[in-house]
């Protein structure tokens, strides 16, 4: 249960991180486009060059982070699927065990019912024999 919660939490975190990185990546791309427009101007300064370079590096870092987050998300989904498969197998095993127990108990009940019927029949026969013997004794006493 905790593993599923952790996987769900990790998946949600990864999804949020992916969205943030995507937004940040898009914002950086917009900045780069603006800088390229300015860069076409022949009067680019060293500061502009450094800014463009740092923005490109930042965009690449964000892309790497995004790819890592997507890979983490795929792993989390795979773990969730594996856990679901394991739980399904466990439930099926419990069901088989339960059904085996029910079958065993039904056999025992049937055996006990048969024994009770036999005892009732034997009791009836013994009772009749007892009454017959009592009648013979009474006749023998008279």
- pLDDT the model gives residue 1: 55
Q: What is the mean pLDDT of residues 108-131?
A: 91
Radius of gyration of the chain (CA): 42
Judge whether residue 67 has pLDDT over 60: yes
Q: What is the DSSP string of 18-59?
A: HHHHHHHHHHHHHHHHHHHHHHTSS---HHHHHHHHHHHHHH
Q: Give the pLDDT band (50/70/90) at residue 5.
A: low
- What pLDDT shows up at residue 2? 62
Confidence class of residue 101 from pLDDT cuts 50, 70 and 90? very high
Residue 9 reports pLDDT greater than 70: no
Indicate whether this model's pTM tops 0.95.
Answer: no
pLDDT at 14 over 90: no
When the pLDDT of each residue in the chain is averaged and rounded to a whole number, the result is 85
Helix (H) or strand (E) holding 1: none
pLDDT at residue 42 greater than cutoff 60: no
At residue 59, the pLDDT reads: 92
* Residues whose CB falls within 8 Å of the CB of residue 21, separated by 6 or more in sequence, listed in order: 62, 65, 66, 69
């Amino acid at each position: 249960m905790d593993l599923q919660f952790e996987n769900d939490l990790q998946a949600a975190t990864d999804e949020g991180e992916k969205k943030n990185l995507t937004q940040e990546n898009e914002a950086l791309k917009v900045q780069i486009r603006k800088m390229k427009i300015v860069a076409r101007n022949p009067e680019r300064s060293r500061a502009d060059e450094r800014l463009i370079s740092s923005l490109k590096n930042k965009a690449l870092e964000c892309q790497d982070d995004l790819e890592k987050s997507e890979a983490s998300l795929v792993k989390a989904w795979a773990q969730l699927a594996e856990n679901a498969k394991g739980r399904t197998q466990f439930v099926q095993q419990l069901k088989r065990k339960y059904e085996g127990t029910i079958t065993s108990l039904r056999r025992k009940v049937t055996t006990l019912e048969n024994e009770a019927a036999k005892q009732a029949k034997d009791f009836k026969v013994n009772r009749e024999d007892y009454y017959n013997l009592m009648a013979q004794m009474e006749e023998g006493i008279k």
